[in-house]
Every structure is written in structure tokens, then in C-alpha cells.
Amino acid sequence: QVQVVESGGGLVKPGGSLRLSCAASGFTFSDYYMSWIRQAPGKGLEWVSYISGSGSTIYYADSVKGRFTISRDNAKNSLYLQMNSLRVEDTAVYYCARPRAGVFDTWGQGTMVTVSS
């Protein structure tokens, strides 16, 4: 079945870096845009970044632009989010999600990122 599974979360100090991964299965990964969405503890959902199937088109939320980098490896059916210069306010569950026609129809279980000294 269609599935995405995130990994790579953890505890990091402010200013540090972390790389999240998302393994996709059950669909032709290269045919789909992919996205990262986050949710701070007890808060709502915030879209973070978006990448086209070929990787040629990328969008970022203003809150992460210049600090986060989205990428993908279609040969490995994998999506990544390189997070640099992390801030306390980046603390959240990070979800990998598959967009279809603008809506997110497949979500992973999420991976927790905690930025704290």
C-alpha cells in the first residue's frame, strides 16, 4: 500500500543541524511532488517545503527559507530535509506528506525534532 515513513528526528542544540529522511513505497515516487509539514507541540499544522518529482521545482515557507534544504533521491524512493541553524521554534513533529492536486493525501507517522540547550 501507499506509505511514507520518516526518520532522523532527535534532540539538537540551537544552531545545530539535523537531516530528516522519508522512505516512500507503494507508488511511483518520481511521479509525485513531495512535501514536509510540521506541527509544534500542541499547535496546528505548518507547511514547510515542497519539491517536484524531478527535483527541479522547490518551494519553502518563509520561516525556514535559507536554513532548510529539501531534496530527493528517486533511485532510493527517498525524500530528505536538511535543517541547519536550528532554532527553538523549529521544535515540532515533522511529517512527510504526498501532495496530489494540492491536497496531502498520504502522511507518515512523523518524526520529532527537539531544539533545546
Partner 1 sequence: EIVMTQSPATLSVSPGERTTLSCRASQSVSSNLAWYQQKPGQAPRLLIYGASTRATGVPARFSGSGSVTEFTLTISSLQSEDFAVYYCQQFHNWPRTFGQGTKVEIK
**Measured between alpha carbons, how far is 74 from 71 in angstroms, rounded to an integer?**
10
Q: Closest approach of Cβ 109 to partner 1, in Å?
A: 6
State whether residue 91 is helix, strand or coil: coil
> Could you say which residues in the range 85-114 bind partner 1, by CB under 8 A?
95, 101-105, 107-110
Q: Closest approach of Cβ 117 to partner 1, in Å?
A: 27
Residues with Cβ within 8 Å of residue 85, at least 6 apart in sequence: 15, 17, 67
62 counts as binding partner 1 under rule CB under 8 A: yes
Total site size for partner 1, rule CB under 8 A: 18
